[in-house]
Amino acid sequence: MADVFKALADPTRRHILDELRERDGQTLFELCARLTSKYGLDSSRQAISQHLGILEEVGLVVTRREGRYKFHWLDTSPLRAITGRWPVNDNEGNER
């Protein structure tokens, strides 16, 4: 679980997850273009690839290779494990 928190601590990785939530199944090239246009990130493809590798290691991103292309999908199951450990309560203390 500590690895998930560490992965989420980086703003670039959070932007990547935001992009995959908005449009799942993107290639590295597509992600780089969207991150540049939407957030003004000027990270190299290699840097974004390294961020994706970390997200994949902690289970927040899953990939599938099709020919020359590698597609990336958001996997929220590690986040569900966190919320399962510390359930979200409403303002009155009742678990949601």
Distance, CA of 78 to CA of 61 (rounded, Å):
10
- Using 50, 70 and 90 to split pLDDT, how confident is the model at 93? low
Fold observed for domain 4-75: Arc Repressor Mutant, subunit A (1.10.10)
Q: What does the domain layout of the chain look like in residue ranges? A: 4-75
Mean pLDDT of 19-24: 97
Mean pLDDT of 20-31: 97
Task: Say if residue 87's pLDDT is above 80.
Answer: no
- pLDDT one-digit tens code per residue, 39-85: 999 899 999 999 999 999 999 999 999 999 999 999 999 988 887 77
**CA 37-25-32 angle, 5° bins:** 25
Distance, CA of 63 to CA of 72 (rounded, Å):
5
pTM for the predicted model, two decimal places: 0.86
CB neighbours of residue 35 within 10 Å = 20
